[in-house]
């Protein structure tokens, strides 16, 4: 079976049963050999339908007699696919979107409801085109009226239009104005870009640019990040690109690259990365230290550490040693590290464009639980740092409960620690250091993942 829409339907059925979107996608793509454009369509339909779920449900609520949650789950999934194509896929003609969705209903046990599916989608098209008649091809924008009805309440309005739960919109509106929150929502709904980090111990940025150009792959540099390149356009299989097997580069978002620069590790030091897997920042630290010194890479999941091992072997790095276990239980590292990186487990609200289903998996409760874990990790792993040493706390979330509040609570209890502005690395101007001294990367302003980073120093007189 190689019908992209049927494959997307099968994967989405798995997602609604609890599978992660990327795992469900991999599962269906592994079973078939699809041409690239069909693979891209399957990927787009799955991630798009998951991402836009709230908006698509609202359309079902508005156009059908039964609300979306009262529809049979498989039928709801089929309608999501139809509405997603009509609303968000400009390259797919409206008639193709309607006909293929009707076909999906027929082939998946809803042949008695094909009239209902056809009618619902055509009603949407009629509403979009005013008096445009039955299902014209894509309507010119000046004739288009949005069929989606939105409430006045700003939280619900943004939540329904951009498909986020209200609580996430609320968290952003507490930090940004309405317009900026909307820009952030739009940014989070884009397809993610892919950045790479060159390995300066094996190659140069010029050499990687030339190697990629020789096979027709375009990249651009990212200001202030000396090892970063961003892919422009499609890359095909990453592992097959020149320089990957040779360990010339690895994939890492530019925001994540900032973190190790702020840590500013030096050759010969002892560094502990307390939540290391899958190892993007650990290998970056090794590169910045010229692979001289010792890095303890700790993580509680040995399978995730294996990924780090593979990566450090490919990049030909020798200074990393793995340590499996929960960093909150380690006592052997007290006062041993020149620098500690705590890249804390977090809700990932800064990287939701990469994880289509993250917005539906996280809840205010899960954020509360994470902030407790983050505080415990910070309190315990700060004891690993020698007097005079540095700890960098980083997350890829934009939730104050996991960021500012964690640091404020720690500093209130730890008189021998203070926030320090980074020396040695010229920070990009956009990394707005706040008056308190922590750094926030806002995706809609910087066009990279949302991050929070703070650099702390332990005073010399602490014992």
CA distance 397 to 325: 24
- Enclosing H/E stretch for 305: helix 302-314
CA distance 171 to 168: 5
Catalytic residue, candidates 185, 275, 346, 396: 396
Whether residue 230 contacts residue 448, with contact meaning beta carbons closer than 8 Å, is answered with no
Environment class of residue 317 by beta-carbon count within 10 Å: exposed (0-12), middle (13-18) or buried (19+)?
buried
- Residues ≥6 apart with Cβ < 8 Å to 329: none
Cis peptide before 203 (omega within 30 of 0): no
CA distance 457 to 434: 17
Tokens 């040693």: give the residue: 321
- Residues ≥6 apart with Cβ < 8 Å to 230: 193, 194, 195, 196, 219, 220, 221, 222, 254
Whether residue 184 contacts residue 210, with contact meaning beta carbons closer than 8 Å, is answered with no
As given in the structure block, the two tokens for residue 404 are 């500012």
Q: Is 298 a catalytic residue?
A: no
Phi, psi of 387 (to 5 degrees): -55, 135
As given in the structure block, the two tokens for residue 199 are 């390995």
Whether residue 387 contacts residue 461, with contact meaning beta carbons closer than 8 Å, is answered with yes
**Residues forming beta bridges with residue 357, ordered by sequence position:** none
**Residues forming beta bridges with residue 452, ordered by sequence position:** 395, 440
* CA distances (Å), origin 286, targets 270, 282, 431: 11, 6, 23
CA distance 367 to 284: 28
Terminal C-alpha separation, the chain? 66
As given in the structure block, the two tokens for residue 328 are 């909150």
With the C-alpha atoms ordered 28, 9, 17, 15, is the resulting torsion angle positive or negative? positive
Indicate which residues carry an active-site annotation: 396
């Amino acid at each position: 079976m190689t019908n992209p829409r049927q494959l997307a339907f099968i994967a989405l059925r798995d997602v609604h049963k609890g599978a992660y979107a990327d795992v469900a996608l991999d599962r269906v793509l592994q079973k078939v050999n699809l041409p690239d454009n069909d693979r891209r369509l399957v990927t787009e339909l799955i991630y798009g339908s998951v991402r836009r779920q709230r908006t698509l449900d609202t359309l079902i609520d508005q156009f059908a007699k039964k609300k979306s949650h009262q529809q049979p789950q498989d039928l709801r999934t089929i309608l999501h696919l139809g509405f997603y194509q009509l609303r968000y896929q400009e390259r797919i003609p409206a008639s193709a979107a309607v006909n293929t969705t009707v076909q999906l209903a027929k082939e998946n046990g809803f042949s008695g409801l094909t009239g209902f599916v056809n009618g619902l989608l055509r009603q949407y098209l009629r509403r979009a085109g005013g008096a445009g008649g039955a299902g014209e091809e894509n309507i010119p924008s000046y004739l288009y009226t949005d069929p989606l009805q939105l409430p006045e309440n700003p939280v619900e309005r943004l939540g329904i239009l951009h498909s986020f739960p209200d609580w996430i919109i609320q968290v952003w509106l507490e930090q940004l104005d309405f317009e900026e929150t909307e820009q952030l929502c739009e940014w989070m709904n884009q397809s993610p870009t892919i950045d790479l980090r060159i390995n300066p111990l094996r190659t140069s940025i010029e050499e990687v640019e030339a190697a990629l150009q020789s096979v027709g792959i375009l990249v651009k540099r990212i200001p202030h990040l000396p090892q970063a390149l961003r892919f422009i356009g499609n890359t095909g299989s990453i592992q097959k690109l020149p320089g990957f097997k040779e360990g010339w580069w690895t994939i890492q978002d530019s925001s994540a690259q900032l973190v190790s620069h702020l840590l500013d590790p030096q050759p010969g030091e002892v560094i502990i990365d307390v939540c290391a897997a899958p190892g993007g920042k650990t290998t970056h630290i090794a590169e910045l230290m010229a692979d001289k010194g010792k890095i303890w890479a700790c993580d509680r999941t040995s399978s995730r550490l294996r990924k780090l091992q593979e990566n450090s072997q490919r990049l030909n790095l020798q200074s990393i040693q793995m340590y499996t276990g929960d960093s909150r239980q380690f006592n052997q590292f007290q006062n041993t590290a020149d620098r500690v990186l705590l890249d804390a487990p977090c809700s990932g609200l800064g990287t939701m464009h990469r994880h289509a289903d993250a917005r539906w998996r996280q809840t205010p409760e899960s954020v509360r639980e994470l902030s407790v874990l983050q505080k415990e990790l910070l309190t315990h792993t700060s004891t690993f740092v020698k007097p005079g040493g540095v700890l960098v706390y980083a997350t890829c979330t934009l939730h104050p409960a996991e960021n500012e509040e964690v640091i404020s609570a720690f500093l209130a209890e730890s008189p021998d620690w203070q926030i320090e502005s980074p020396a040695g690395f010229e920070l990009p101007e956009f990394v707005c250091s706040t008056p308190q001294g922590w750094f926030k990367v806002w995706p809609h302003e910087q066009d990279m993942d949302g991050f929070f980073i703070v650099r702390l120093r332990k005073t010399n007189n602490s014992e």
